[in-house]
């Protein structure tokens, strides 16, 4: 047997290295950029890069103070190229690769921003100045002012009540529901100054809310904990008025199996189709599902937000 193919198989037989090569096939990236996309420490990325460099699968070039790495496919023989095509098609179909592709967009955008900074110093300075003066999320904190001030909103699975606190100044009433005593205690502490918030203990499967009460309901980072999300979305429809809106924010499909043990996740994210099916079967219409841009500093999977109107 040809010894070269054994060496190639040894270099490629690692999930991280194969994900790295999928990224490096399309873009030259620095170690720092690979760390950000793969969410791995620099030592791990450098170790895998060295293996790939030594095996001739990756080339590098210096540009000023940066070093860029790329897949060296043109240097591989016919056999190596066939092996790569087979592996690449398998890796690209995984959820991990899908998450990498989303984070890559953010990383490449940052690179673009850096070059713009050079030419548009004033504009860049303003963004930083606004963040320094008013905080990173100041523009988003103002957005709930678009809500109807007469609304009653349900924050379903409210946790420690951060979203309820954000919404309360802009609407007539917030009903915050959760099953966990500890979470509710923290929510009570956070929300005690806000007289239009009612904190209620209860199950999302049988909400402590009358029929046709809410103008809007939020299920933020909650659905992945539920054995039967479709049933909870049906229950949400019951407590919403006709024409009321539901907002669901959760994770896109991902491969973090460890979240099941660490945080009791039942679902490893949701696809666009799943969310549309859940909403449609509960009688919601005008379903919109939008992937959210990955935050540069975030360590978790990318998120989506869905909204729909209660047709019942």
Ligand X SMILES: C[S@@+](CC[C@H](N)C(=O)[O-])C[C@H]1O[C@@H](n2cnc3c(N)ncnc32)[C@H](O)[C@@H]1O
Instruction: List contacts with ligand X (CB under 6 A).
Output: 157-159, 162-163, 178-180, 183, 203-205, 220-222, 225-226
Residue 219 Cβ, how far from ligand X at the closest point, in Å?
Answer: 8
Determine the 3-state secondary structure of 13 from DSSP.
Answer: coil
Pick the closer one to ligand X by CB: 95 or 225. Answer: 225
Place of tokens 């904990």: 225
Determine the 3-state secondary structure of 206 from DSSP.
Answer: strand
Pick the closer one to ligand X by CB: 71 or 187. Answer: 187
Do 175 and 151 form a contact (C-beta atoms < 8 A)?
no
Residue 222 Cβ, how far from ligand X at the closest point, in Å?
Answer: 4
CA angle 33, 38, 39 (to 5 degrees): 95
Which phi and psi angles does 105 have, rounded to 5°? -60, -45
Residue 267: DSSP 8-state: S
Q: Tokens for 155, please give them.
A: 């924050």
Residue 27 Cβ, how far from ligand X at the closest point, in Å?
Answer: 33
Do 24 and 39 form a contact (C-beta atoms < 8 A)?
no
Pick the closer one to ligand X by CB: 89 or 205. Answer: 205
Residue 46 Cβ, how far from ligand X at the closest point, in Å?
Answer: 34
d(CA 152, CA 244): 10
Pick the closer one to ligand X by CB: 15 or 290. Answer: 290
Pick the closer one to ligand X by CB: 89 or 228. Answer: 228
Do 174 and 167 form a contact (C-beta atoms < 8 A)?
yes
Pick the closer one to ligand X by CB: 204 or 252. Answer: 204
Pick the closer one to ligand X by CB: 36 or 232. Answer: 232
Residue 234 Cβ, how far from ligand X at the closest point, in Å?
Answer: 14
Place of tokens 């490096």: 24
Residue 183 Cβ, how far from ligand X at the closest point, in Å?
Answer: 4
* Nearest residue relative to ligand X (C-beta): 159
Residue 256 Cβ, how far from ligand X at the closest point, in Å?
Answer: 14
Burial of 195 (0-12, 13-18, 19+ CB in 10 A): exposed
Q: Tokens for 108, please give them.
A: 């490449």
């Amino acid at each position: 047997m040809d010894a070269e193919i054994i060496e190639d198989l040894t270099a490629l037989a690692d999930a991280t290295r194969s994900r790295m090569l999928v990224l490096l096939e399309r873009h030259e990236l620095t170690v720092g950029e690979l760390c950000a996309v793969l969410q791995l420490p620099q030592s791990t990325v450098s170790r895998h890069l060295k293996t790939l460099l030594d095996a001739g699968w990756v080339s590098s070039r210096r540009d000023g103070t940066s070093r860029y790495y790329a897949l060296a496919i043109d240097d591989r023989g016919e056999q190596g190229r066939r092996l790569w095509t087979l592996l690449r098609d398998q890796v690209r179909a995984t959820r991990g690769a899908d998450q990498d592709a989303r984070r890559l967009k953010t990383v490449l955008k940052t690179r673009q921003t850096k070059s713009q900074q050079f030419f548009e110093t004033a504009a860049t300075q303003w963004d930083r100045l606004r963040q320094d003066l008013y905080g990173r999320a100041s523009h988003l904190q103002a957005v709930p002012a678009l809500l109807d001030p007469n609304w009653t909103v349900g924050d379903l699975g409210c946790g420690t009540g951060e979203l309820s606190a954000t919404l309360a100044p802009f609407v007539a009433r917030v009903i915050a529901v959760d099953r966990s005593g500890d979470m509710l205690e923290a929510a009570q502490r956070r929300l005690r100054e806000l007289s239009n918030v009612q904190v209620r203990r209860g199950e999302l499967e049988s909400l402590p809310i009358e029929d046709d009460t809410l103008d809007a309901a939020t299920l933020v980072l909650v659905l992945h904990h539920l054995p039967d999300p479709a049933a909870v979305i049906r229950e949400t429809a019951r407590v919403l008025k006709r024409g009321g809106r539901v907002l669901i924010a959760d994770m896109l499909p991902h491969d973090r199996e460890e979240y099941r043990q660490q945080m009791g996740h039942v679902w490893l994210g949701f696809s666009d189709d799943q969310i549309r099916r859940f909403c449609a079967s509960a009688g919601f219409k005008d379903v919109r599902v939008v992937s959210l841009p990955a935050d540069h500093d975030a360590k978790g999977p990318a998120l989506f937000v869905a909204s729909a109107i209660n047709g019942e």
